[in-house]
Structure 1
Amino acid sequence: MTASRKFAAVVVAAAAALAAGTALAQAPAKPQYGGTINIGTIFLTVPPLSFDSADWTWKFNHDMGLTYESLFAADLSKAKRNGGPYDFTIDAFLPSDAIRGELAESWKMLENPRRVEIKLRKGVMFPAKAGVMEARELTAQDVVYSYNRYEQSAKKIPNYFDHIEKVEAPDASTVVFTFKAYHAEWDYRFGWGYYSAIVPKEVVEAGAKDWRKANGTGPFGISNYVQGNTVTFTKNANYWDSETIAGQKYKLPFVDTINYRLIKDESTYMTALRTGRLDLLEVVGWTAVDEIKKSAPQLQWNRYLAVNGPVLALRVDTKPFDDIRVRRALNMAIDRDQIMKSFYGGNAELMSYPMHPSYGPYHEPVSSMPASIQALFKHDPEQAKKLLAEAGLAKGFTFKVQTHSGSLDNDLLSLISAQLAKVGVKMEIQVMEYPAYLSAMTTKTNAPGYFVNLAATNPTTALRKTFVTGQTWNPSQYSDPAFDKQVDAMLAEPDEAKRQQLLRGMTREILEKAPHIWLPTPYRYTAWWPWVKNYNGELRAGAERPGPIHSRIWIDQELKKKMGF
């Protein structure tokens, strides 16, 4: 039988199975243990950047969040699939009522001095790892050690832990964070954020950069890594956590093996989804949805507004982008309606960065902002030419733009180039491999133009990480001491309503000064097969951390077999 005929037969069998037993696919069922799940994560085109948490790579939690845990994580009982209000698709935003203790059993804020006292769960174990460590219980000293490694790393984000005076372990199950002053992100910075995984000293001494040495308290241990292909995780049989389903508690995790597939080519990973070689694909572009729905109608879907929409950062410390007239001109040269209609097929919103609509009161639509900001989002090539002439660039100019080969939006960059050409501005596009591309930004050697999908992260982080002087994720090299002080004041404000007001005003200021070409944000889709249970499109349970979500999935193996897979 040919491959096409075989696939057709599978589709027919799957359709028949569903037609005959829809109730089987939808009715509550008792979770099953065992099996393997193959996942194309939201970053399936980008391989692991480092297996050492102290390298301060943004992707560490994503890649190793099944193995290493943090003090806090998302309370997934608040997910929409459980009757809660949250879809958990935002990259690093956990509402205050949707945070649970992970390694922390309880915590409380104390005064004089201001500090947080955290009680750790007892009986949480690091499993035995040959050549690395014997099995032993997690202690408070592991938390202190992990914090100190982050703080002392030469790669740390500047000022990230400046609000912390000291971290101590008065006993084996208690950790105390003493603050210099209140900080609105205290729980995010070292609790559930990007740089908060608890890594034992034994792993560091054995060689934390080697994935073979990795060993954490999480539900899975990394068991294999085939570069450019697959990261494999194997069940930790002695994992401490559980999941309550239909009133009954079940020990986690459910599946034996999780494979994170690495696939750069879109047609390849879409074929893998359609043929069941991927059980779950977290990112599907709108252009593929209709065809996939026709060829694999049994797939389940979730639609979400991307948190990492593209922008074109302009180095404000480099001519001609040190002139605000030039930056505003380039924004006015962009036809966003054309981008939303033709490039995204209507599957996009005008703006979600730096404040995502999911942030609620932190977000303000463009339509409510001053006319000077609204003008940046209107296609006005004549005004763009006028501003360029006022800046002494009536004949236009050429500038270099960097992007990376794994970007899903490089075709958009070509469209932007064509639009800018109409006002006399030419782009030289340099496509780089992701590590070199990322290094260019983090070492502040990036080109005058830097095409990047910048995630807003969360409301209090969005402006700090990208527009405060010297910050790592600041490709425009934006620097304004007065703005830096505004960020500091906002982070020191304990009243959330006041923080929201401050951030709305600060967002206006940044948009007005246009250190980026502001671009529409697309909707994206997640697709999974009906045999993937206890899942409804959730993507993050912390800062880019899908681990707690994936460890709660179970596979209805009877249904999968009935569907011909």
Structure 2
Amino acid sequence: FVELGLNTQIPPFDNIHNRRALRYAIDVNPIIALVYDGYAQPARGFIPPSSYSYSEDAPDLITRDLDAARAELEAAGNPDGFSFEVSVVAQPYRIQTLEIMQASLAEVGIELIIQSNERARHLEILRQTPNEANAGFIQILRFQPTPENYLITQAGCNPANLLSPYCTEEWEALWNQLAATPDPADRAVIIQQLDQMVMRDAISLPYVYPEIPLVYRGDLLDNVGLNGYGFLDWVDVIVKG
């Protein structure tokens, strides 16, 4: 998935209503059409469809609703909107994504300021000095066989992404329950609950699940597939003839 990691420790995203306003205001459809050429789908949370713990029945909390966005801004005490900076690695498709976001957010008075950084500086902000940006452009493209790994990079008491630590008693109790649960079906239910918890509180904004087309010559290759990490598995590819 691709997301905006929100710095929940400082304004404006220390206020849950500002975070929810952002979620309601972003329009993901032009991002999917223009950046991904249609090869993506709107995100429903941190767990992608490729995971066994993904649920199509989960509430869709990332739905554009400008009236709801304005109501959240009113509840936050800034009805005219707010501004925030996003750290991003200076790659064209990332910048294009944020520029599209700028246009949709401006409709409710939210100003997105692009802070273009080298990769090392961007990672430093995410992992060491999070208060030097209000948000960060993050993408998780590697498949995780253990789906809770999608969550612990973004949430919990010691996440890899320091923008949005989420250390609540509710989270810790459910996380400890997950650690003591061996059955995959039972684990999937708990992971879905954890996912909905962080989505409810809008600690971050996953917005698309990218899809990677696998194109090859069927008349020349056989047994083409992906490995457990979502990459082309060349080991088992058979060259015909």
TM-score of Structure 1 vs Structure 2, range by shorter chain: 0.7 to 0.9
The letter of the residue matching 2:138 is V
Q: Secondary structure at the match of 2:85?
A: strand
The letter of the residue matching 2:84 is F
1:526 and 2:217 correspond? no
1:310 and 2:2 correspond? yes
In structure 2, relative to structure 1, the CA distance for the partners of 1:505 and 1:477 (3 Å cut) is closer
1:449 and 2:132 correspond? no
Q: Which residue of the other structure, out of 478, 503, 515, is the alignment partner of 2:166?
A: 478
The letter of the residue matching 1:391 is A
Partner of 1:511: 199
The letter of the residue matching 2:214 is T
Task: Select the structure that is richer in strand.
Answer: 1
Partner of 2:90: 405
In structure 2, relative to structure 1, the CA distance for the partners of 1:480 and 1:382 (3 Å cut) is same
In structure 2, relative to structure 1, the CA distance for the partners of 1:358 and 1:487 (3 Å cut) is same
Q: Secondary structure at the match of 1:526?
A: coil
In structure 2, relative to structure 1, the CA distance for the partners of 1:473 and 1:534 (3 Å cut) is farther
The letter of the residue matching 1:423 is V
In structure 2, relative to structure 1, the CA distance for the partners of 1:529 and 1:352 (3 Å cut) is farther
The letter of the residue matching 1:347 is Y
In structure 2, relative to structure 1, the CA distance for the partners of 1:435 and 1:552 (3 Å cut) is farther
Partner of 2:122: 437
Q: Secondary structure at the match of 1:478?
A: coil
The letter of the residue matching 1:498 is D
Distance 2:93 2:223 in 1: 25
1:264-275 alignment, distance < 5 Å: none
In structure 2, relative to structure 1, the CA distance for the partners of 1:494 and 1:527 (3 Å cut) is same
Partner of 2:179: 491
The offset of 1:339, in angstroms, is 3.4
Distance 1:536 1:503 in 2: 31
Q: How many residues align?
A: 238
The letter of the residue matching 1:350 is P
Look at both structures and tell me which one has the larger radius of gyration over its CA atoms. 1
Distance 1:420 1:468 in 2: 28
Q: Secondary structure at the match of 1:318?
A: coil
- Contact 1:314-1:448 at 8 Å conserved across structures: yes
TM-score of the pair, normalised by structure 2: 0.84
Q: Secondary structure at the match of 2:212?
A: strand
The offset of 1:467, in angstroms, is 0.7
Partner of 1:363: 54
Distance 2:93 2:85 in 1: 20
Partner of 1:36: none
Distance 2:151 2:103 in 1: 30
The offset of 1:342, in angstroms, is 5.0
The offset of 1:319, in angstroms, is 1.2
Distance 2:98 2:47 in 1: 22
Distance 1:398 1:405 in 2: 20
Distance 1:485 1:447 in 2: 30
The offset of 1:329, in angstroms, is 0.6
Partner of 1:189: none
Q: Secondary structure at the match of 2:70?
A: helix
TM-score of the pair, normalised by structure 1: 0.38
Q: Structure 2: give runs of 5+ residues left out of the alignment.
A: none
Distance 1:352 1:324 in 2: 18
The offset of 1:351, in angstroms, is 1.8
Partner of 2:72: 387
Percent of paired sites with the same residue:
23
The letter of the residue matching 1:314 is L
The letter of the residue matching 1:330 is L
Q: Which residue of the other structure, out of 499, 502, 514, is the alignment partner of 2:190?
A: 502
In structure 2, relative to structure 1, the CA distance for the partners of 1:408 and 1:337 (3 Å cut) is closer
Alpha-carbon deviations, 1:62-111, whole Å to 9, x = none? xxxxxxxxxxxxxxxxxxxxxxxxxxxxxxxxxxxxxxxxxxxxxxxxxx
Partner of 2:148: 460
Q: Which residue of the other structure, out of 307, 324, 333, is the alignment partner of 2:25?
A: 333
Alpha-carbon deviations, 1:517-558, whole Å to 9, x = none? 2312232223456797465242x445x777xx34555777xx
Distance 2:215 2:148 in 1: 31
Q: CA RMSD in A?
A: 2.8
- Contact 1:336-1:378 at 8 Å conserved across structures: no
- Contact 1:402-1:447 at 8 Å conserved across structures: yes
Higher RCO (C-alpha under 8 Å, 6+ residues apart): 2
Partner of 2:108: 423
Distance 2:228 2:30 in 1: 35
1:109-120 alignment, distance < 5 Å: none
Distance 2:88 2:31 in 1: 18
Q: Secondary structure at the match of 1:500?
A: helix
In structure 2, relative to structure 1, the CA distance for the partners of 1:345 and 1:480 (3 Å cut) is same
Q: Structure 1: give runs of 5+ residues left out of the alignment.
A: 1-308, 560-565
- Contact 1:406-1:433 at 8 Å conserved across structures: no
The letter of the residue matching 2:25 is A
- Contact 1:463-1:487 at 8 Å conserved across structures: no
Distance 2:5 2:47 in 1: 16
Distance 1:550 1:352 in 2: 32
Distance 2:204 2:190 in 1: 21
